[in-house]
Each structure stands twice: as structure tokens, then as C-alpha cells.
Amino acid sequence: MGRPSIKAERTAEILNAYEQCVARFGIEGATLERVASQAGLARALIRHNVGNRDALFDALVERFFDVSEQRVVDLIAALPERDRAPVLIDILFDVRHGNDTHVLVAEALIAAAADRPALAKRMKNWIDDFVSAIAAVLRHSYPDAAQGRVTAVATGVTGIYFNVDSLAMLGGMTDLRRNSKEAALLLVCTLED
Amino acid sequence: MGRPSIKAERTAEILNAYEQCVARFGIEGATLERVASQAGLARALIRHNVGNRDALFDALVERFFDVSEQRVVDLIAALPERDRAPVLIDILFDVRHGNDTHVLVAEALIAAAADRPALAKRMKNWIDDFVSAIAAVLRHSYPDAAQGRVTAVATGVTGIYFNVDSLAMLGGMTDLRRNSKEAALLLVCTLED
DNA sequence: TCTTTTATTATCAAAATTGATAATTTACAG
DNA sequence: CTGTAAATTATCAATTTTGATAATAAAAGA
């Protein structure tokens, strides 16, 4: 009985708006006013649905890791049985990821980790896990390649990918994206020898 | 006559502190209070030496481009006559650049460029110029390589380098730095064919 | 010492941000 | 229609941040 709750949807909307603000203004610059404005909601609704500033931050962090884990799972699942490496690069440097704030949020969290040791450890693991996932895909395509080289290539591909997403906010970065993708492919091809 | 002015030194100190805060908190999160605290000066001295918030931002932007240009000049000047490419990678991924905030400031400026079209254009040019400088070095070492491939490799090296500096704030990223450097070298070696 | 110029400090008001609570409206069940 | 639980709105005080000006202290030269 009573009015149906929409807390789940509202929370998602608020966290989406918060992510946009974090990507644009950073953690400390993402004020509740800006988040409310971005979400098109009254500021009091942020408190009603999520809580205060710290609660909002904590919710963002938890959702970030959940979403990140799911994205990696989906990414791997989208790969074919054969020729996984080039398809991986296709997906990573697809223009559809153009407006994606995930990497920007990650960088904001890394900055905020400066005085949050526990978060710093989680972000380090997050990077390691991502590189490891890329490395696993590469190992599948190049089972004879040396481990050290696979790790290096996976790190390089990850770096190029993160960088593209970092700079994507500028807009009109099609050349950079194309050249980055070509570089990633060249790097992967060094595992063929 | 009169008390000697130290505005130049104070301005440099303030901009240094501002850069640290921008790298950690972003443009909007770098409050005058934080900058003053970081600089160990009274907030009023920021106003006295540089001006208000907008003036501080403008001063940072101008110094950023000046320093950036000089750094590229110094980087090129530090290269030997032969084997420039590997030395370039050595310098780019040297651990001494560990506490360098230059790339972090660049990313903060890119974020702030979202509602500053003129700055967005300058940042795009900044990226292009950096990639072009790397490409020029690579062309010197590999004069027979195809232009498109040189551009791609230069873009990739730049991306890997930017990424390392982005994540360096986490600390203890020696593995990432080493693997990134190895990846950059592998990528450069694809120009040998 | 006196004057001049600048650095530094001391305050103040305005604006922005946050945390919190009360009042009101809305949607559904019975 | 009525009760109820939740959404939404309306306010308020406390804190932070900013912009600005006045007052004071310090360092040089004459």
C-alpha cells in the first residue's frame, strides 16, 4: 500500500548525473547543486534517495567497480572463438564509446585516492585486473608468445585505450582514435614473431 | 626605491601550488583556500600577486603552454644524433617524471575546455603538436617508414606516455611504468620493417 | 630618520554549498 | 472516498568560498 517507491530508478538517475559531473568537474568539483541540475531534480531528492555527499561518493565507488566488472565480462563474452585480438581492438576503439565517462570517472577516483588509501589499493587492483583481462585475450590469440611480452603489449593497449577515452571529451578526435587503434593493432602484431 | 617587489617569485610559487591543486582536485575543485594552503601563503596574497579566480586560471593556462613548448624543445635537444628513438622512450618513461603534474594539468584543462571553445581548440593543437614532435623524432630514426605508420606509432607512444603520467599519482606504479616503456619500444620497433 | 613602495595581515560582506527538517503533494490499496 | 507510504517541495541555519578594501609591517633609498 502507499505510493510506489521509485528509489532504485531515481538512484540510478542521480548516479548517472553524478558520473557526468565527476567526469567534467572532478570529485571535489561535483557539487550537489551541479548534480541536481544535471539530473533535472531538486537537490533534496539526492539526499532523499542516496544521502549526503559522502554517501553519494561511496555509492558511486561501489557502482563503478560493479559496472567495471560487468563490462569486462561483457567484453570477453562479445569476442569470437577465433581472432579474438583484432575484434578486441575493434571494440575498445569503437566510436560508440565516444561519450563514455567510465575512464574519466576512474581517473577522478584515482585523484581522489590521494588521501584515501583503501581506494588507492582498489584502483591499483582495478588497473591490474583490466590489464590481466586484456593479456588473457592476447594469450588466447598468441599462445606461443612470451609472458613478459604479452603483459607489456596488454599494458600498452590499455594505456592507448585509456588515453583515447581521456581525451575524447574534447570532441572531434576521430584522427586520434583512428591512429590509436592502428597503433594498438601494430602493438598486438608484435606478438606474432 | 621602496620595498623590492617579489611578485615574480610569488607568482611562480602560487602557480606551482595551483598546479598541484588542479592535478589533485581539478579546476573547479582547486579553491583559493586550497591553493593558499598548498603554497603556504595567505589567500589575500593570491589576489595581490595574481588576481581573482579567473586571473589565476588564465595565468595557469598561459604558463602551461609556455612550459609545454619549452619542454618539447628541451626533450628534442636532449636527443643524440643517432638512435634517437630509444633515447626518446628512455626519457619519456624515466621515473624522474614520476611526480610530474604536467599531463594531469593538461587533462584538467581538457575537462575545463568543455565550456571554453577557445581552450578546446588550443588543447587539440597541443595534442597534435606533441604527437607531431614525437613523429618527427621517429621519422629521423626510421626515414623509410610509411608516413601513416609513423603517425600511428607516434600517437600510440604518446597515448602510453600520457596514460602512465595519469596513473602515476597512485604511487608504486613501477611495474606499469616498466611494461609501458617496453610496449612503447615494441611499438617503435614496428617501424623497422 | 624620513619617505616611498611593496608585502603582509586583518576584516567584512556577498555568494555558494551543505546538512537538516518540516510541510505538502501524489499515487495506490482497500 | 479514505488511509497510507512515498515523492516532492519549502525552508532554515551552518559552513565554505569568494571578492574586496583598509590597515599594518617591512625593506629599500635619500
Q: What is the pLDDT along chain B (193 residues), one digit of tens a residue?
A: 789 999 999 999 999 999 999 999 999 999 999 999 999 999 999 999 999 999 999 999 999 999 999 999 999 999 999 999 999 999 999 987 768 999 999 999 999 999 999 999 999 999 999 999 999 999 999 999 999 999 999 999 999 999 999 999 999 899 999 999 999 999 999 999 7
Q: Are B187 and A153 in contact (CB under 8 A)?
A: no
What values do phi and psi take at A35, rounded to 5? -65, -45
Residue B48's nearest nucleotide, by CA–C1', is C7
| Closest chain B CA to residue A26 | B26
In this predicted structure, what is the pLDDT of residue B193?
A: 75
In this predicted structure, what is the pLDDT of residue A181?
A: 98
Question: Based on the domain organization, do A120 and A35 belong to the same domain?
Answer: no
C-beta atoms surrounding A17 within 10 Å: 20
Question: Based on the domain organization, do B25 and B86 belong to the same domain?
Answer: no
Question: Based on the domain organization, do B22 and B104 belong to the same domain?
Answer: no
What is the residue range of B70's domain? 63-192
Residue A29's nearest nucleotide, by CA–C1', is C17
CA of B5 to C1' of D30 (A): 19
Question: Based on the domain organization, do B10 and B72 belong to the same domain?
Answer: no
Q: pLDDT band at A95, cuts 50/70/90?
A: confident
Q: Within a domain: residue A58?
A: no
Question: Based on the domain organization, do B72 and B34 belong to the same domain?
Answer: no
Question: Based on the domain organization, do A47 and A71 belong to the same domain?
Answer: no
In this predicted structure, what is the pLDDT of residue A192?
A: 92
Considering B51, B77, B92, which residue would you say is the last residue of a domain?
Answer: B51
pTM of the shown model: 0.96
Residue A53's nearest nucleotide, by CA–C1', is C18
Q: How far apart are CA A69 and CA B117, in angstroms?
A: 35
Q: Within a domain: residue A137?
A: yes
Mean pLDDT of chain A: 96
Q: Does the distance separating the beta carbons of B170 and A166 come in below 8 Å? A: no
- Is pLDDT of A118 > 90? yes
Q: Within a domain: residue B28?
A: yes
Question: Based on the domain organization, do A78 and A153 belong to the same domain?
Answer: yes
> Tell me, what CATH number does B164's domain have?
1.10.357
Question: Based on the domain organization, do A81 and A141 belong to the same domain?
Answer: yes
Note the Cα B144 to chain centre separation in Å: 30
Q: Across the interface, which of B28, B152, B167 has its CB nearest the CB of A179?
A: B152
Question: Based on the domain organization, do A101 and A45 belong to the same domain?
Answer: no
Q: Which nucleotides of C are covered by protein (CB under 7 A)?
A: 3-11, 16-22, 26-30
pLDDT tens per residue, range B64-85: 999 999 999 999 999 999 999 9
In this predicted structure, what is the pLDDT of residue B97?
A: 74
Q: Within a domain: residue B57?
A: no
Q: Does the distance separating the beta carbons of B149 and A186 come in below 8 Å? A: yes
Question: Based on the domain organization, do B7 and B77 belong to the same domain?
Answer: no
Q: Within a domain: residue A12?
A: yes
Q: Are B132 and A82 in contact (CB under 8 A)?
A: no
Q: Does the distance separating the beta carbons of A124 and B111 come in below 8 Å? A: no
> How close does chain B come to A4, measured CA to CA in Å?
38
Q: Across the interface, which of B25, B153, B156 has its CB nearest the CB of A28?
A: B25
State the DSSP string of A141-159. H-TTS-HHHHHHHHHHHHH
Count Cα neighbours of B108 within 13 Å in the Cβ-side half-sphere: 27
- Is pLDDT of A164 > 90? yes
Q: Across the interface, which of A25, A111, A167 has its CB nearest the CB of B28?
A: A25
Count Cα neighbours of B30 within 13 Å in the Cβ-side half-sphere: 27
> How close does chain B come to A63, measured CA to CA in Å?
21
CA of A41 to C1' of D1 (A): 32
* Helix count and strand count (H, E) for chain B: 9, 0
Footprint of strand C on the protein (CB under 7 A): A 1-4, 31-34, 43-44, 47, 52-54; B 1-7, 10, 41-42, 44-45, 48-49
> Tell me, what CATH number does A22's domain have?
1.10.10.60
Question: Based on the domain organization, do B25 and B117 belong to the same domain?
Answer: no
* C-alpha separations of B99 from A2, A138, A161, B95, B165 in Å: 56, 32, 23, 9, 8
Residue labelled with grid coordinates 578486441: A88
- Is pLDDT of A73 > 80? yes
pLDDT tens per residue, range A77-94: 999 999 999 999 999 999
In this predicted structure, what is the pLDDT of residue A57?
A: 98
* C-alpha separations of A76 from A104, A152, B64, B186 in Å: 22, 20, 40, 25
> How close does chain A come to B162, measured CA to CA in Å?
7
How many Cβ pairs within 8 Å bridge chains A and B? Answer: 169
Q: Does the distance separating the beta carbons of A155 and B183 come in below 8 Å? A: yes
pLDDT tens per residue, range A3-44: 999 999 999 999 999 999 999 999 999 999 999 999 999 999
Q: Within a domain: residue B78?
A: yes
Question: Based on the domain organization, do A98 and A179 belong to the same domain?
Answer: yes
In this predicted structure, what is the pLDDT of residue B50?
A: 98
In this predicted structure, what is the pLDDT of residue A193?
A: 75
Note the Cα B96 to chain centre separation in Å: 14
Q: Within a domain: residue B58?
A: no
Q: Looking at the 3D structure of chain B, how many domains does it have?
A: 2
Q: Within a domain: residue A56?
A: no
